Structure 1
């Protein structure tokens, strides 16, 4: 995991960048999936390996936006991190859907948030750290923005049992 140390400079490169093609590869797979040229599984697999960026809160956690407050759906909705708040996990069953803005590059991060503190990690780490019920909103300010629902990205252990007949005794 990398972070910019609280600096508001969003152009600073992480100390250990991912593969140079991570952003391009993920964006292209999303675009191909929208046109039927790639499967949701392809998007998921590419996201797992990609280096992604998130806005870094003051305390550990993920900053989120309520799906009903998505910028652009309401003329008066504020942009970027001004509408973000820390996700709180509670026992309430009727919580509105929460989206975690995740970005393929620092440029996409800056387009949505206007700049600020960030951290980067792999898509697999993001999914492994997200509390239940949060969805990923990939590059929300881009034309290729996509929502990865938590139900579709959840990895659960499965027990498979099969039986063999032993045949009959003579």
Structure 2
């Protein structure tokens, strides 16, 4: 799936993530950099984290909420996991919103 196809799909989707005790995200340090696991379904989150506090947001809002230098990994246990870079997604969404691609 291209960045544009992913952006079109994510534009309307809710993304679910484990909610930490303090506002923000649970960020993992990995060999790929700082990542936040997010999921396209509550079931995917449950498979990953078990019973946990959770929150959800749109991909557009996630772009604004992720700390600088942190990317999201979408559906890490799914059939087609992918990295979501906030800067790239933001530019693609702006292009879609302005009638491009």
**TM-score band (shorter)?**
0.7 to 0.9
Q: Give the gaps of 5 or more residues in structure 2.
A: 95-101
Q: 2:84 aligns with which of 133, 148, 161?
A: 148
Structure with greater proportional helix content: 2
Q: Measure how far apart 1:48 and its partner are.
A: 2.6
By relative contact order (CA 8 Å, sep 6+), the higher-ranking structure is: 2
SS at 1:63's partner residue? coil
Contact preservation (8 Å) 2:37, 2:72:
yes
Q: Measure how far apart 1:118 and its partner are.
A: 0.2
Which residue number corresponds to residue 114 of structure 1? 50
Range moving further from structure 2, 40-49 or 110-119: 40-49
1:51 aligns with 2:14: yes
Give aligned pairs, total.
92
Structure-2 separation of matches of 1:48 and 1:102: 15
1:65 aligns with 2:1: no
Residue by residue over 1:89-135, the C-alpha shift from the partner in whole angstroms, topping out at 9 and shown as x without a partner, is xxxxxxx7211111111110011112200011211111111111111
Structure-2 separation of matches of 1:103 and 1:65: 15
Q: 2:3 aligns with which of 40, 58, 74?
A: 40
Structure with greater proportional strand content: 2
Residue by residue over 1:22-61, the C-alpha shift from the partner in whole angstroms, topping out at 9 and shown as x without a partner, is xxxxxxxxxxx1xxxxx21120232132111010011111
TM-score, normalised to structure 2, is 0.80
TM-score, normalised to structure 1, is 0.49
Contact preservation (8 Å) 2:16, 2:54:
yes
Q: Give the gaps of 5 or more residues in structure 1.
A: 1-32, 34-38, 69-95, 158-170
